[in-house]
Amino acid sequence: MSENQPVASTRARKQTGADTPVTDSGEVTPAEVPVAVEPVTASANEPVVATDDPAAVEIAAPVTETGAVEPVTASEHRIVYVETPQPPRKKGNRGVGALFAVISALVFAVLYAVLFVIVSNAIAGTAPLAPFLQSATFFIPVIYFALGFVVLVLIANRANWWAYVVGSLLVAVFVYFASTGTLLLTDGIIAHTPDEAAQLARAGFASPIILSATLLAREVALWVGAAIAARGRRVKARNVLAREEFDRELAEQRSERERGTEAEPVATA
């Protein structure tokens, strides 16, 4: 039997090849046969993407002939920041109107002094102007007129003359009651008996000097208010023109942007 074994081994080598191992019993042991693997080459526009997960497939960017990677964009988006112009600010009439009101208080003071001389000469035949100019009867109506008229101007702003027609009545009523009440307090009305206080109140509210100041306050506020209202109309007209100019410029800018957008080419992937 031992003499036949080499013969079997020799036959096995001839059948399977010179490198195939053979066992002592004559069986052929399978050998690992090398398999030739062709190298995978990538085309110029399809690069190979190395990944550990065979199920994961990624789309890479195309490669040019020189080896540079071309970026792939689905679409191009351009953001354009356009500064929106601010609308013109409406101009008011309060500042100049308040200045007119303060100046009119000086006019009121001068006319009030003249009116005092006229009323005093008509009632008593004398007109002691110097003591009057130093008394509270002169200063208090002037201060209340200035205060009431300035408040009216701040409220009316660019209103028409009718607002000053009504407002001048309110200024006159304010000057009348505020001046009379303040003068009664300075005369010490609260220190008198109720009967004496009532007499002082009737005399104060019926004072021809205070009544004259009330009428004068109404007239000065009315006519100076007419000048303030006239300026308010001019201010409103300028505001309207400025707004129309702004709207026209804004419409032109929008049309220019729309024409520029339509002229731009549409980017494709």
- Quote the pLDDT of residue 90: 84
- Which residue type does 175 have? V
- Quote the pLDDT of residue 7: 44
Tell me: pLDDT of 30 over 80.
no
- Quote the pLDDT of residue 86: 79
Tell me: pLDDT of 41 over 90.
no
Residue 268 resides in a domain:
no
For residue 239, give its domain range: 95-260
Residue 266 resides in a domain:
no
Tally of domains in the chain? 1
- Quote the pLDDT of residue 29: 53
Q: pLDDT-derived band of residue 35, with 50, 70 and 90 as boundaries?
A: very low
Task: Round to whole Å and give the CA distance between 194 and 262.
Answer: 88
Q: What is the mean pLDDT of the chain?
A: 77
H-assigned helices in the chain: 5-16, 94-123, 129-133, 136-156, 161-186, 194-205, 208-263
Eight-class DSSP state of 83: P
Task: Round to whole Å and give the CA distance between 253 and 82.
Answer: 10
What is residue 69's three-state secondary structure?
A: strand
Task: Round to whole Å and give the CA distance between 147 and 98.
Answer: 10
Residue 80 resides in a domain:
no
- Quote the pLDDT of residue 264: 56
pLDDT digits (tens, 9 = 90+) for 133-192: 999 999 999 999 999 999 999 999 989 999 999 999 999 999 999 999 999 999 889 988
Q: Are 159 and 229 in contact (CB under 8 A)?
A: yes
Eight-class DSSP state of 17: -
Rg, C-alpha atoms of the chain: 54
Residue 116 resides in a domain:
yes
pLDDT digits (tens, 9 = 90+) for 48-102: 444 444 444 444 455 555 655 555 454 555 665 566 677 888 888 999 999 999 9
Task: Round to whole Å and give the CA distance between 227 and 229.
Answer: 5
* 244: exposed, middle or buried (Cβ count in 10 Å: 0-12, 13-18, 19+): exposed
